[in-house]
Amino acid sequence: MKFKNKVVIVTGGASGIGFALCSELSKRGAKVILADIDSEGGVKGAETINKNAGLVIPVCVDATKETEITNLIRSTINEYGKLDYIFNNAGIGGDMDFRNVTIEHWKRMVDLNLWSVIYGTTAAYKVMVEQGFGHIINTASISGLIPTPAKVLYNTTKAAVISLSTTLRYEAAEFGVKVSVVCPGAVKSHIWSTPILGVRDQDDTDLIPPEAISAEKAANIILKGIVHNKEKIVFPFLMRFVFWLYRIHPSILNLPFRKIVRESLSSNK
């Protein structure tokens, strides 16, 4: 009953973890605003969920535009009178040899993975402080906690999201507002096949790691963490264990990380 009749915004809600969150929240009785720049995907996703008597409203929003995020939150408050949860989930992945990185790559990654979270957090926080309740959930990555090679741009943005969330959490608690950050390992989604600059490849099956968990399982883990108001929601178990090892003894990952670098550089020759 935790989410029944709660008003929720999910950015990046048309696919992957975002869509799974919309679906699961709807099953649990929440009113969900599915926000995504992919308007067609958002409408189809909402229709699919609503066939099972859900209440999902698709909205076309570019999360990298401050005015669009601010207007989304304002219209949600005008319509429902409150905002209980916001999932700042929109983002992009991408591995890249740093020798090939350009400022355009940086701008694209920072806009999608960091500025979108800053916009959503800033606008939602002001509303939640005024109403005296609410929960902000920002999607980062295990790569923001562990410096996985060949992901300099991605890791940098995700580490920033973690710092933003964990730091704000203390301040927000004084006003009745909760803040959590999601740090997933491998999850099955299109993020594996979307270049930093460009469009998604159609055949992405071979790019998804074999250990990746389903987006549906990820969504359930995330919601369980939210119910318990966890600061960091790190999953699956293997990633929590690796993170624990890294915190105790960082050099333990030196050899596997060097292997990743060599393989990555070799494949780019």
Q: Please give the positions annotated as active site.
A: 154
Order across the sheet with 134-139: list the strands: 56-60, 31-36, 7-11, 85-88, 134-139, 177-184, 232-235
What whole-number distance in Å separates Cα of residue 242 and Cα of residue 247? 9
Query: Which residue from 62, 55, 260, 269 is spatially nearest to 143, judged by alpha carbons?
Result: 260
Backbone angles phi, psi at 175, to 5 degrees: -115, 10
Query: Contact 36/22 with Cβ under 8 angstroms?
Result: no
In which residue are the tokens 């535009």 written?
A: 65
Task: Please name the helix (run of DSSP H) or strand (run of DSSP E) that holds residue 117, with its range, or none.
Answer: helix 116-131
Residue partners of 4: CB distance under 8 A and separation at least 6: 28, 29, 30
